[in-house]
Amino acid sequence: MNEPLEIRADFVEAREVLQRLARAGASAAAPPSGNGAPSSMATGQAAAAVPSTWAEQTLRRLLESLPDALVVIDARGNIVLVNGKTEELFGYSRAEMLGQAVELLIPERYRAAHVGQRANYFAAPRVRPMGAGLNLQGRHKSGAEFPVEISLSPLQTEHGPLFTAVVRDVTLRKREEAKFRTLVENIPAVTFIAPLDDSAPEFYVSPQIEQMLGFSQKEWLEDPVLWHRQLHPEDRERWNVQFAPTCAEGTAFRSIYRFIAKDGRVVWVHGSAQMVRGGEGQPVFLQGVAFDVTAIKEAEEAERARARLTALQARINASVTRGDALPVMLRRCVEALVEHLGIPLACIWTLDESQESLRLQASAGAVSAPIASIGIGSGIPRTDDEVADLIAGHLARVMEQSRLTSALSQPLRMEDRLIGVAALCAPGALPHDVPPLLRQICDEIVLGVGRKHAEEALYRLNVELERRVCERTEELARSTTELREKSEELEQFTYVASHDLREPLRTLVNYPQRLLKHYGDTFNPEAREWIERVTNGADRMRRLIDSLSYYARVLRRDRSFAMVETAVVIEEARSNLQAAIEECGADLRVGEMPAVRGNQQQLMLLFQNLIGNAVKFRSSKRPVRVEVACERRGDDWLFRVRDNGIGIEAKFLERIFGLGERLHSASRYTGSGFGLTICAKIVTGHGGRIWVESEFGEGSTFFFTLGVIDD
């Protein structure tokens, strides 16, 4: 673009000097003589003449000191006056220039046209810059061209009109301008100038505007209000309000607005502008710069969307993990969707296959929810599109009534199985990040629903389990009570029976003896033997009854539990068995024994039976040895009573704990077969177990456990 020329003060000054020179009588119309001295003013004839007056001399010196070249031509276009600066600028001597057509000083290609232009000017001369808007070029004698600014003015003399051209070399300025322009037009921003007054520079928009908004620089320059039309309609009002103070008071303007680009894109622009005032403080023009900040805005928007997503996800996550019932959980989810997305309606339906419908479980938002159920008939919609169609059809009425234009639905699927649908409605288009967002949210909701189903199944299982445990516990308590009652009954019966049996037994023993005493002589040996057998049988029965009543007595007498030092009860048992131990010279060794919680009398009986059996069922082949020991096994004490007696055949190992079980005849080993039964009863009554290990012919070891007392 061409810059307008200005009429500088020194041009005006030069013109005045010339007029004064003319008035001083310098001749300007005569042809050049060609001998102008370089140090003095050359004016044709006058050039040779010695300046006649002080005034003339002064004026000539003034001309020579002008910073610009001065060329005066006559009405024929011939050069009649030049100054030293002209020689310097164009490379010609004064003599070479004087009398020549002024076209000598312009590039050859313009010369022909210039002649016509010059004639036009001469016809209506006035003071003005030459070639306004054109890039004027001077031509050096060498042929080199250089940019110039020229100011023209007519001058009336007695010898006719003269025309002065003040010529300035603007090479440096043009270079500076070019540099400045390159700078301005290469920054990644649009610069602009908007005139507010006639003296202002023209409206200017830098060419970067095309890249920013798609309209060319030319389009902007031809239509100075184009930019206002392209301002986003929603931002116009704000712009008017914010920009007014800049125009009225000259305060700096700085703000962000949206523009609509030529292709319809929305472009975010950060603009700043300030007013430039004239010498009298009047507003002259506005200058400003505008940056495209769309990328920053989009990044901010993306960041906001991310933050919104994170916040919404956190809230959905909290809702689905709170442990609320399913409808409450879903209600919290739709409330979160409505609040975070700023929408007027969000709903969730769940599939009720038995009812062949989608049942509305939760809805939130300013718009009231659609009717509760969506009938789906026998065919469940399979694809997302089918679901979307179904929901869109269902929501159509609500949307129309509430002027909502967008609906978005998302199926809730658990392992590809449709379990429900979530849907959103909005008055305008939903932001593009909402569909993926809703998908993610629905995944969370499905997880939550899955968890809820699992929890409910677990809860139902627990309830069932508890019910069964209660039933079993009651059953157990019933059987325990029954058992205890039976056991007590049995003990009672045993006691009573053993007591009541004594009397007839006594009879059974007495009368055969009386028979022998009074009629013994009449009996043959066979009869005597029979009577003896009856007596022996009765005797055995007596022992049996004795044992029965003894054990019944022991077990009934004392049921209380206390701390028992087992070493003490073993010592008591040993003392009770003293006679039998001494009789066979048994070596009884007792290791370190713990204190246990139990019944002292019963525990004594337990050790007495086991040690007594160990001594009774001794082997005649070796000295009798009995060892009692105890060791800790987890929460139990493990006791053992080991002997080196006759041992027990493997097949009898379990049987011997049964009531009245004996492996030997009474003639060989006395006993009733109750001992181990009683031992087992005592041990289980103390919460322990009893068993035996044995090597037939080598010896046996009886084991039993009793609980360790907690500290």
Q: Which of 605, 675, 681, 706 binds ligand ADP (CB under 6 A)?
A: 675
Q: How open is the CA angle 638-641-643, to the nearest 5 degrees?
A: 145
Q: Of 250 and 673, which has the nearer Cβ to ligand ADP?
A: 673
Shortest distance, position 533 Cβ to ligand ADP, whole Å = 21
Q: Of 499 and 664, which has the nearer Cβ to ligand ADP?
A: 664
Pair of tokens at residue 90: 């164009």
User: Alpha-carbon distance 694 to 645, whole Å?
Assistant: 10
673: contact with ligand ADP by CB under 6 A: yes
Question: Of 368-376, 428-436, 511-519, 610-618, which part binds ligand ADP (CB under 6 A)?
Answer: 610-618
Closest by CA to 447, choosing from 466, 470, 419, 428, is 419
Shortest distance, position 598 Cβ to ligand ADP, whole Å = 20
> Residue type for 591, please?
G
- Measured from each CB, the residue nearest to ligand ADP is 671
DSSP summary character for residue 664: S
545: contact with ligand ADP by CB under 6 A: no
Question: Of 368-376, 383-391, 549-557, 608-616, which part binds ligand ADP (CB under 6 A)?
Answer: 608-616
Q: Which of 256, 289, 663, 708 binds ligand ADP (CB under 6 A)?
A: 663
User: Alpha-carbon distance 594 to 592, whole Å?
Assistant: 7
Mapped onto helix, strand or coil, the DSSP state of residue 457 is helix
Shortest distance, position 590 Cβ to ligand ADP, whole Å = 16
Q: Which of 312, 374, 445, 676 binds ligand ADP (CB under 6 A)?
A: 676
Q: Which of 661, 685, 691, 708 binds ligand ADP (CB under 6 A)?
A: 661
Q: Of 166 and 611, which has the nearer Cβ to ligand ADP?
A: 611
Task: State how beta strands 587-590 and 625-633 pair.
Answer: parallel
DSSP summary character for residue 28: -
Burial of 351 (0-12, 13-18, 19+ CB in 10 A): buried
Contacts with ligand ADP, 403-422, as mask; x by CB under 6 A? --------------------
Number of H helices, E strands in the chain: 20, 23
For the chain, the 3-state helix, strand and coil shares in percent, each to the nearest 5, are: 50, 25, 30
Q: Which of 140, 270, 452, 662 binds ligand ADP (CB under 6 A)?
A: 662
Beta-bridge partners for 420: 350, 412
Q: Of 80 and 676, which has the nearer Cβ to ligand ADP?
A: 676
Beta-bridge partners for 259: 231, 267
Shortest distance, position 673 Cβ to ligand ADP, whole Å = 4
Question: Of 155-163, 167-175, 589-597, 658-666, which part binds ligand ADP (CB under 6 A)?
Answer: 658-666
Q: Of 349 and 657, which has the nearer Cβ to ligand ADP?
A: 657
Closest by CA to 293, choosing from 337, 327, 333, 259, is 259
Burial of 268 (0-12, 13-18, 19+ CB in 10 A): buried
**What is the radius of gyration, based on Cα positions, of the chain?**
65
Instruction: Extract long-range pairs of 559-563: CB within 8 Å, 24+ residues apart.
Output: 559/599, 560/599, 561/597, 561/598, 561/599, 562/597, 562/598, 562/599, 562/600, 563/595, 563/596, 563/597, 563/709
Burial of 336 (0-12, 13-18, 19+ CB in 10 A): buried
Shortest distance, position 653 Cβ to ligand ADP, whole Å = 10
Residues 469-508, interacting with ligand ADP (CB under 6 A): none
Residue with tokens 């607005």: 257
Q: Of 43 and 672, which has the nearer Cβ to ligand ADP?
A: 672
Question: Of 90-98, 157-165, 405-413, 606-614, which part binds ligand ADP (CB under 6 A)?
Answer: 606-614
User: Alpha-carbon distance 642 to 710, whole Å?
Assistant: 28
Q: How open is the CA angle 16-20-21, to the nearest 5 degrees?
A: 115
Q: Which of 269, 391, 646, 682 binds ligand ADP (CB under 6 A)?
A: 646
Q: Of 62 and 614, which has the nearer Cβ to ligand ADP?
A: 614
700: contact with ligand ADP by CB under 6 A: yes
Shortest distance, position 670 Cβ to ligand ADP, whole Å = 7
Question: Of 528-536, 537-545, 550-558, 664-672, which part binds ligand ADP (CB under 6 A)?
Answer: 664-672
Q: Which of 545, 645, 681, 688 binds ligand ADP (CB under 6 A)?
A: 645
Question: Of 93-101, 464-472, 530-538, 672-680, which part binds ligand ADP (CB under 6 A)?
Answer: 672-680
Shortest distance, position 614 Cβ to ligand ADP, whole Å = 5
User: Alpha-carbon distance 630 to 30, whole Å?
Assistant: 154
Residue with tokens 């055949």: 649
Confirm if 642 and 701 have CB atoms less than 8 A apart. Answer: yes
Q: Which of 337, 656, 680, 690 binds ligand ADP (CB under 6 A)?
A: 656
User: Alpha-carbon distance 615 to 587, whole Å?
Assistant: 10
Contacts with ligand ADP, 557-596, as mask; x by CB under 6 A? ----------------------------------------
613: contact with ligand ADP by CB under 6 A: yes
Kindly determine how many residues on this chain lie close enough to bind ligand ADP according to the rule CB under 6 A: 20
Shortest distance, position 610 Cβ to ligand ADP, whole Å = 7
Q: Of 81 and 586, which has the nearer Cβ to ligand ADP?
A: 586
Q: Of 79 and 614, which has the nearer Cβ to ligand ADP?
A: 614
Question: Of 75-83, 290-298, 559-567, 674-682, which part binds ligand ADP (CB under 6 A)?
Answer: 674-682
Q: Which of 105, 290, 424, 614 binds ligand ADP (CB under 6 A)?
A: 614
Q: Of 208 and 700, which has the nearer Cβ to ligand ADP?
A: 700
User: Alpha-carbon distance 598 to 316, whole Å?
Assistant: 60
Residues 6+ apart with CB under 8 A from 355: 373
**φ/ψ (deg, to 5) at 33:** -95, -20
> Residue type for 443, please?
D
Question: Of 75-83, 286-294, 421-429, 638-646, which part binds ligand ADP (CB under 6 A)?
Answer: 638-646
213: contact with ligand ADP by CB under 6 A: no
Dihedral sign (CA 398, 399, 404, 407): positive
Q: Which of 32, 138, 370, 671 binds ligand ADP (CB under 6 A)?
A: 671
DSSP summary character for residue 107: -
Q: Of 542 and 662, which has the nearer Cβ to ligand ADP?
A: 662
DSSP summary character for residue 208: T
Closest by CA to 257, choosing from 286, 285, 228, is 228
Q: Of 11 and 617, which has the nearer Cβ to ligand ADP?
A: 617
Question: Of 154-162, 236-244, 343-351, 641-649, which part binds ligand ADP (CB under 6 A)?
Answer: 641-649
User: Alpha-carbon distance 599 to 389, whole Å?
Assistant: 81
Mapped onto helix, strand or coil, the DSSP state of residue 188 is coil
Q: Of 68 and 643, which has the nearer Cβ to ligand ADP?
A: 643
Confirm if 350 and 420 have CB atoms less than 8 A apart. Answer: yes
Q: How open is the CA angle 392-393-394, to the nearest 5 degrees?
A: 90
356: contact with ligand ADP by CB under 6 A: no
Applying CB under 6 A, which residues contact ligand ADP? Answer: 609, 613-614, 617, 643, 645-646, 648, 656, 661-664, 671-676, 700
